[in-house]
Amino acid sequence: MHKQFQRAIELQQAGQFQDAEKICRRILKQHPRNAAVLHLLGVIAIGMQRHAEAVELIGRAISIDNQSPEFYCNLGIPLQQLGRFTEAIAAFSRAIELKPDFAEAFHNMGETLLRQEHIDQAISCFKLATSYKANYYQAHFNLANALMAKGMTEEAITAFGRAIELGNPAEKIAALLNLANLLHLSGRAAEAINTYGEIFKITTDDWRPYANMGTTLIELGRIDEAIAFLERAIAVNPSCVEAYSNLATIFHNRGFTEKAVEYSSKALAMQPNAVAYNNLGASYSDLKMADKAAECFRKAIELQPDFVDAYFNLGNIFLKRGEPHTALENYNKAIIFQPDHADAHWNRSLALLTLGDLEQGWEEYEWRMRQGPFHKGDVRPFPYPFWDGSSLEGKTILVWTEQGIGDDLLFASVIPDVVAACNHCVIETEHRLVSLYARSFPEAEVVPRLDPPHARTLQPDIQWQIPAGSLARFFRATTDSFPRHHGYLTPDPQRAAFWKDRINALGNGLKVGIAWRSRLSQKDRDVYYTELTGWGSILSIPGVTFVNLQYDECSEELIEAEQCFGIHIHDFDDIDHFNDLDEVAALTSALDLVIAPSISVACMAGALGIPVLKLTLSIDWSTLGTQAMPWFPDTQLFIKPMHGNWKPVIDGIAAELNRLSFDRSHQNLTGNKSA
Residue 589 CB-density burial (10 A; 0-12 exposed, 13-18 middle, 19+ buried): buried
Of the CATH numbers 3.40.50.300, 3.40.50.2000, 1.10.579.10, 1.10.3720.10, which one belongs to the domain with range 493-674? 3.40.50.2000
SS3 sequence, 93-138?
Answer: HHHHHHCCCCHHHHHHHHHHHHHCCCHHHHHHHHHHHHHHCCCCHH
- How far is Cα of residue 351 from the mean position of the Cα atoms in its chain? 18
Residue of 350, 355, 316, 312 lying closest to 332 (CA atoms): 312
The answer to whether the CB of 79 falls within 8 A of the CB of 91 is yes
Give the separation between CA 219 and CA 339, rounded to whole angstroms.
25
> How would you label 147-166 residue by residue, b for 16+ Cβ within 10 Å and e otherwise?
bbeeebeebbbebbebbbeb
Mean pLDDT by 10 residues, the chain (675 residues): 84 90 88 91 93 94 94 94 95 96 96 94 96 96 95 95 95 95 93 94 94 92 94 94 92 90 92 92 90 96 97 95 95 97 96 96 93 66 96 97 94 97 97 98 97 96 97 96 96 98 95 91 64 96 96 95 96 95 98 96 98 92 94 95 87 96 72 45
pTM of the complete model: 0.76
Strand (E) or helix (H) holding 595: strand 593-596
Q: State the pLDDT at residue 666.
A: 67
Q: Which residues pair with 425 in a beta bridge?
A: 397
The residue type found at 347 is N
Cα(377)–Cα(320) distance, integer angstroms: 26
Share in percent of the chain as helix, strand, coil (round to 5): 65, 5, 30
Architecture of domain 396-477 in this structure: 3-Layer(aba) Sandwich (3.40)
Contact (Cβ atoms closer than 8 angstroms) between residue 107 and residue 139: yes
DSSP letters along 5-31, please?
HHHHHHHHHTT-HHHHHHHHHHHHHH-
CA dist., res. 71 & res. 46, Å (int): 13
Q: Closest Cα partner for 611 from 623, 620, 602? A: 602
The per-residue pLDDT for 520 is 65
Contacts of residue 83, defined as CB under 8 A and 6 or more positions apart, other chains included, come to none
For 541, what's the count of Cα atoms within 13 Å in the CB-facing half-sphere? 25
Q: What was the pLDDT predicted at 27? A: 87
Contact 516, 535 (CB under 8 A): yes
- What's the CA gap between 498 and 610, in Å, rounded? 17
The C-alpha atoms of residue 351 and residue 125 are separated, in whole angstroms, by 54
CB proximity list for 2: less than 8 A, separation 6 or greater: none
Q: What does the alpha-carbon distance between residue 551 and residue 364 come to, in Å, rounded to a whole number?
A: 32
Per-residue confidence (pLDDT) for residue 371, from 0 to 100: 78
Whether the CA torsion 498, 504, 506, 512 is positive or negative: it is: positive
Estimate to the nearest angstrom the gap between the alpha carbon of 61 and the chain centroid: 58
Phi, psi of 526 (to 5 degrees): -60, -25
Q: Are 600 and 436 in contact (CB under 8 A)?
A: no
